[in-house]
Structure 1
C-alpha cells in the first residue's frame, strides 16, 4: 500500500530544463529499427532536466485524461511548450510529477506541471502523501494489535 501512495501521489523536484523531445511509441516502447510499430502508436513528450547539483532526470509528459491516476491532465503539448520556454531562458523550475524512474524498465516519472520558481521561494512538499503514510502506519499498527488480540484471547 505504501508503494501505491508513493507512485500515485504527487512529488516535486526543483531543477532546470535542459531540453525537450517527442518520441513515437507503441505498447512496447519507442519505435526504432529494432522495435517496429506493431499496433496503435502515440506521441510521448519528454522533458530533460538537470538540477544544480548536476543530477540529470528525464520526465515523461503524457496526458492522463480520465484514467488512473486521476490528474485529469489534457494539455501535454502546452506543458511541453512551457517547459521548452523555461529551458531556453535557463529558469529554475519546480516540476510536479507522479511515478517512478526505473531505468531498467524504461519507466519515467510523468510531469503534471512545470512552474517557474525563484531562489528565495520554498518549494512545495508532498504533504498529502505524508498524511496518507501516517494514516497507513496507524492502520497497520491497529491491525497488528487487533490480530494479536485474537491470539491472546484464545489462551
Structure 2
C-alpha cells in the first residue's frame, strides 16, 4: 500500500506541475522575424487553443495571429496571438489585434536585431500542433536581459500560504473533532468488550455451577 500511496502522490504532483507550467506566465527573449494571420482548423487539439476572439462567433475553423521568432542561439519559435477573454487562463487578454500590430513594429533582421521579451503561457508541440499564446511584448536591451518572474513568485507564494493555512485548519479540525470522536468510539468499543467479557464470565460461571453439581 505504501507504493500505491506514493505513486498516487507522485501522479498528483506531476499533474499539478504540468498545470502550473502550462498556465503560469513564462518569458522568452527573442528576435521577432515575422508575423502572419493563418487560417486553422481547430479539432482534437482545441483544448490548447483559446476561445474565439472576443466578439467573434465560435467556429472550428478561424484565423489566428502568429508571431515568428528566433532565439539568440538560432532556435526558432512560433507563438499564437489569441484573446483569452473572460475564460481560462484568467489573463483577460482582449487586445490580440493591437498586439499583432505591436509585433509587426518589433520585426528586425539578424544584422540589426531588436530583442523582445515575450510573455506567454502554454507549450509548443509540433506533434499536436499547439503553440504558446503571447500575452505581452516588451523591447529589452539584449538577449541576456534579466527577467524576474514577479507574477509567478507572488502566485506561488500565495498558493503556498493558502496550502499552509488549509493544513493548519485541517489539523485543528482533526484535533478538535475527529480525534475526540475516534477516542469516544474506541472507549465505547472497549466498554462493549468489557461488558461482553463480564457476560461471558457470568455465563461460564452459571453453566459451570449447573453442570458441575453431582
Normalised by the length of structure 2, the TM-score is 0.55
Aligned length: 146
Per-residue Cα deviation, 1:26-68 (whole angstroms, up to 9, x for no partner):
3228xxxxxxxxx543211111100111111111111101110
Q: Give the 3-state SS of the residue equivalent to 1:87 in structure 2.
A: coil
State the 1:135 CA deviation. 7.3
Gaps of 5+ in 1: 30-38, 147-155
Instruction: Return the structure number with greater relative CO, CA threshold 8 A, min gap 6.
Output: 1
Partner of 2:173: none
What is the SS of the residue equivalent to 2:21? helix
| 2:70 match | 50
Alpha carbon RMSD of aligned pairs, Å?
A: 3.3
Aligned residue for 1:71?
91
Q: Which contiguous aligned blocks of 4+ residues in structure 1 show a shift greater than 4 angstroms?
A: 130-140
Q: Which has the higher helix share?
A: 2
Distance 1:57 1:15 in 2: 9
1:61 aligns with 2:76: no
1:94–1:123 CA contact under 8 A, matched in 2: no
Name structure 2 gaps, 5 residues minimum.
1-15, 45-58, 171-214
Shift in Å, 1:24: 1.5
Separation (CA, whole Å) in 1 of partners of 2:65 and 2:25? 19
- Tell which deviates more after alignment, 72-81 or 115-124: 115-124
Asked if 1:14 corresponds to 2:34, the answer is no
Give the distance between the partners of 1:114 and 1:101, measured in 2 at CA.
18
Worse-superposed segment, 46-55 or 123-132: 123-132
CA separation of 1:88 and 1:109: change in aligned 2, threshold 3 A: same
- Identify which of 104, 123, 134 aligns with 1:84: 104
Contact preservation (8 Å) 1:83, 1:114? yes
The 3 A distance-change label for structure 1 pair 136 and 74 is closer
| Structure with max Cα Rg | 2
Pairing 1:111-150 to 2, within 5 Å after superposition:
111-119=134-142, 122-130=145-153
- TM-score of the aligned structures, taking structure 1 as reference length: 0.73
Contact 1:95/1:112, CA 8 A, preserved across alignment = yes
**What is the CA–CA distance in structure 2 between the aligned matches of 1:13 and 1:125, rounded to whole Å?**
12
Is the partner of 1:111 in helix, strand or coil? strand
CA change 1:133–1:71 in 2 (3 A) is closer
